[in-house]
Amino acid sequence: MSPFAAELVGTLLLVLLGDGVVAAVVLNKSKAQNSGWMVITTGWALGVAVAVYAVGRISGAHLNPAITLGLAAIGRFPWNAVPRYIAAQFLGAFLGAVIVWLAYLAHWPVTEDQSAKLGVFCTIPAIRHLPKNLLTEIIGTFVLMFGVLAILANAAPAQSGLAPLLVGFLVWSIGLSLGAPTGYAINPVRDLGPRLAHALLPIAGKGNSDWSYSWVPVLGPVVGGVAGALAYAGLFGR
């Protein structure tokens, strides 16, 4: 498998399991309906861990343009490979969202809440204030990038099999501690790819895709990821 295919498959798995748990919690007549934030954050964390285990040995399992750009900014990833990785990540995120739609086909018509249906695919802030929402996404992705580099720095060869699980724990922690204000995109394609899927798919009574907010979960993670990488490199070296 090529790195491009690995990033596509890994990001597809991440979004499939992550958006899938949101669908389980918010869509009507799901057996997991109303099971809450703990279930959502746990599902996303496990989805990240599974995706990293699946493709980490092939592509490094960036699965996130913020990670790709952060690593490139500190010289740990070639800039000429950045566009390929981001394209694969975006396509994987879009396809993962489409599969979630298929998995929950019976539940879209019986769910009247348009916001709930949009929230399956992309993030919606709890309090809409774009500058503050942007800051939240920057902080969350800063912690993600900084934490990933710290985990990799401490993953000795004999312990490296734990690294994907620890990245999952990191995402779980971010979701629990910093995710509530915005839904913690912390990944541009995790939001943008599924948002496009929401716009294109024939979802009954779906409402609009809230494109006026869509730049926040793209710009915030990019800034936070690069800043987190630069901060880690400045403190501990590349």
Count CB neighbours of 103 within 10 A: 14
Task: Give residue 4's pLDDT band: very low, low, confident or very high (50, 70, 90).
Answer: very high
Residue pLDDT, tens place only, 191-228 = 999 999 999 999 999 999 999 999 999 999 999 999 99
Q: What is the pLDDT of residues 82-122, one digit of tens each?
A: 999 999 999 999 999 999 999 999 999 999 999 999 999 99
Q: Is 82 exposed, middle or buried (0-12, 13-18, 19+ CB in 10 A)?
A: middle
Residue type, 40: I
Phi-psi category of 150—alpha, beta or left, where left has phi over 0 and alpha has psi -120 to 50? Answer: alpha
Distance CA 13, CA 50 (A): 8
Q: State pTM to two decimals.
A: 0.96
- Domains of the chain (ranges plus CATH)? 3-236 (1.20.1080.10)
On whether the CB atoms of residues 116 and 219 are closer than 8 A, the answer is: no
pLDDT at position 156: 61
* CA–CA gap between residue 59 and residue 54 (Å, rounded): 10
Q: For the chain, what is the total number of helices (H) and then of strands (E)?
A: 9, 0
Q: Mean pLDDT, to the nearest integer, of 64-77?
A: 98
pLDDT, tens digit (0-9, with 9 covering 90-100), for 115-166: 999 999 999 999 999 999 999 999 999 999 999 999 999 876 545 688 999 9
At 106, list the tokens: 């019976």
229 touches 64 (CB < 8 A)? no
